[in-house]
Amino acid sequence: MTGFDPKTIKIGISACLLGQNVRFDGGHKRSAYCTDELQRFFEFQPICPEMAIGLGAPRKSIRQVRHGDEILLQSADGSLDVTEPMMAFCRDTLPQLAHLGGYLLCAKSPSCGMERVLEYAPGSNNAGKTGTGVFARALMSRYPELPVEETGRLHDMVLRENFFTRVYAYHDWQTLRSEGLTRHKLVQFHSRYKYLLMAHHPHNYRLLGPMIANPDDDIERQAQAYFSLFMATLKHHATRRNHTSTLQHIQGYFKKMLSKAQKAELSDAILEYREGLQPLLVPITLINHYLREFPNPYIQEQVYLKPHPQELKLRYGY
């Protein structure tokens, strides 16, 4: 792993998810997973866009109303319109969030929902689940590589592991940029992430290497193009098939070192994972065990073997 302190990662979060009474009904949407588990690993920065623009709690609820290509934030009776204040809040606030390493949003909110937000037709209660919260959309537009997720979706272990893999990779990149970007550091960064990228999307993995192999007069442009595809690659879910292929590639580094029994043990662990009989943690743990017995600097540096703290328990469930 890279050695950075995970406690320095700051995660933006909808304030209601931390138990703050900021919702329209004066209540909250506290997430026990966020407050009881994640706060041990991250520093949360709570934001409620609706409170920030001056709406109280409790308050008249607002919803998205579609007028052609335009989305308005209005009360059901149309007497309250906060579209402009919300847009102004986005313009003023988003430039101050570049330090964040991820963002957790509250589902269904007209300001913070990541997807499937209700969009109403003007003057009616007819709605489709086709919208994105106004603040959430502006956030993802300004920071397209930023890991963003809704807390409810984190109950899915695959989505959860994917989100935090991206959070730690994003932070790793931010750390690299803060220390000063060089071509050598860019190559080293890619080298450490090779097997993680392979597990997430083999095709993109093959594209990323050549993007940094050839020097570019504009390293900033080269780095940004690389990082955009890098984060898009990690957003793909690593399948059991791709994990198996990646594990077998790593297994090849031990072929001259392991005894016949050890080779069989590792092969069996990978096969049992492929067939769904064991979680990914089992072959990963065995590989790390053999690395302690037979050190290999290149494999030991691979982020794939520890993309996030083990204490988060993200590889136990699949």
Task: Tell me the pLDDT tens digit for each residue of 281-301.
Answer: 999 999 999 999 999 999 999
**Is the pLDDT at 275 greater than 70, yes or no?**
yes
Helix 183-200 and helix 157-179: axis angle, to 10°? 170
- Cα 54 from chain centroid (whole Å): 30
3-state class (DSSP) for residue 62: strand
Looking at the chain, list the stretches that DSSP marks H as alpha helix, in order from N- to C-terminal side: 32, 49-52, 83-93, 134-142, 157-179, 183-200, 202-213, 219-235, 240-251, 260-274, 281-293, 297-300
Could you report the per-residue pLDDT of 17-38, keeping only the tens digit for each?
Answer: 999 999 999 999 999 999 999 9
Mean pLDDT across the stretch 238-261? Answer: 96
pLDDT number for residue 315: 84
Q: Which residues contact 63 (CB under 8 A, 6 or more apart)?
A: 73, 74, 75, 76, 110, 118, 120, 127
- Amino acid of residue 192: R
* 8 vs 89, residue with greater confidence: 89
Phi-psi region of 123 (alpha: psi -120 to 50; beta: other; left: phi over 0): left
Tokens read off for 204: 């993109």
- Amino acid of residue 181: L
Confidence label for 269 from pLDDT (cuts 50, 70 and 90): very high
Could you report the per-residue pLDDT of 172-209, keeping only the tens digit for each?
Answer: 999 999 999 999 999 999 999 999 999 999 999 999 99
Tokens read off for 43: 């520093």
Phi-psi region of 276 (alpha: psi -120 to 50; beta: other; left: phi over 0): left
Average pLDDT of the chain to the nearest whole number: 94
pLDDT number for residue 158: 93
DSSP 33: I
Tokens read off for 137: 């959309």
**Is the pLDDT at 1 greater than 60, yes or no?**
no
- Amino acid of residue 57: A
Q: Which residues contact 217 (CB under 8 A, 6 or more apart)?
A: none
**Is the pLDDT at 4 greater than 50, yes or no?**
no
Q: State phi, psi for 125 to the nearest 5 degrees.
A: -105, 15
Burial 73-105 (b: 16+ CB within 10 A, else e): bbbeeeeeebbebbeebbeeeeeebeebbbbbb
- Of the ranges 142-146, 215-219, 229-233, 276-280, which one carries the lowest mean pLDDT score? 215-219
In 10 A of CB 11, how many CB atoms? 20
Mean pLDDT across the stretch 82-105? Answer: 97
Cis geometry, peptide bond prior to residue 58 (ω within 30 degrees of 0):
yes
- Amino acid of residue 225: A
- Amino acid of residue 310: Q
Quick one: what percent of the chain has pLDDT higher than 70?
97
pLDDT number for residue 215: 74
Contacts made by residues 312-315, CB under 8 angstroms, sequence distance 24+ = 312/41, 312/164, 314/157, 314/160, 314/161, 314/164, 314/165, 315/161, 315/279, 315/280, 315/281, 315/284
pLDDT number for residue 3: 42
pLDDT number for residue 7: 53
Confidence label for 2 from pLDDT (cuts 50, 70 and 90): very low
Helix 240-251 and helix 183-200: axis angle, to 10°? 120
**Is the pLDDT at 318 greater than 90, yes or no?**
no
Confidence label for 8 from pLDDT (cuts 50, 70 and 90): confident
Mean pLDDT across the stretch 126-138? Answer: 95
Quick one: what percent of the chain has pLDDT higher than 90?
90
Confidence label for 116 from pLDDT (cuts 50, 70 and 90): very high
